[in-house]
Amino acid sequence: MIDNFGSLNCKYDELINELFEEVLCDNCRRTIKLGNAEAKIINLVNNNTLFLCRDCNDKIMNQIRKI
């Protein structure tokens, strides 16, 4: 039973670390935290994930809507 708690604790730590992981915006290179409602957009051409800050995401989404 205690082993299960250790495993859950480890998984919780992994999730928290991922939530607050910092990456650079692929457009403007600003540092963003993944867990702070910054957006991820999937680039369907080559199946890569673009990490975008909120401002860059809004600009790109507006351009997509115009098409």
CA 52, CA 30: separation in Å to the nearest integer? Answer: 9
Q: Which pLDDT score is estimated for 7?
A: 64
Structure confidence at residue 9 as a pLDDT band (50, 70, 90)? low
Q: Which pLDDT score is estimated for 1?
A: 46
Residue bearing the bigger pLDDT, 16 or 65: 65
User: How does pLDDT run across 17-53, given as a tens digit for each residue?
Assistant: 666 778 888 899 998 887 665 566 666 567 777 888 8
Residue bearing the bigger pLDDT, 34 or 12: 34
